[in-house]
Amino acid sequence: MARQFPQLIDLVEDGTLLALQPPARHEKEQRDLQRGYRQPLLVIIIGTSHVSSISASQVERVVRAVRPQNVVVELCRSRYF
């Protein structure tokens, strides 16, 4: 993270952001198993609070810096319906 996205290192250091890379062999296994499916090279998880403007700006920072192909939002049951 420090080399790829140095502007986000404060979020890593305070525990707000977690970056995960699967083992190299895992990507090949996934591609072989599911014809054309490619395991992400990097998964970034950011902790948020739905009532926090600071949290919203942190998410915006991450999306602008990383420019991900996909964004996944987890909703608790009470907000789903």
Q: What is the pTM of this model?
A: 0.73
Segments making up each domain of the chain, as ranges: 6-80
Specify the higher pLDDT residue, 57 or 49.
Answer: 57
pLDDT in tens, 7-52: 999 999 999 999 998 776 665 666 666 666 666 778 999 998 878 8
Integer Cα distance of 36 and 30 in angstroms: 9
Q: Give the ranges where the chain is alpha helix by DSSP (H).
A: 9-13, 24-33, 53-66, 77-80
40: tokens are: 């992400």
Supply the pLDDT for residue 38.
Answer: 67
Integer Cα distance of 33 and 73 in angstroms: 26
Range ranked top by mean pLDDT from 45-49, 51-55, 62-66, 68-72: 62-66
β-sheet bridge partners, residue 19: 44
Integer Cα distance of 80 and 77 in angstroms: 5
pLDDT level of residue 67 (50, 70, 90 thresholds): very high
pLDDT level of residue 78 (50, 70, 90 thresholds): confident
Instruction: Name the phi and psi angles at 46, rounded to 5.
Output: -125, 130
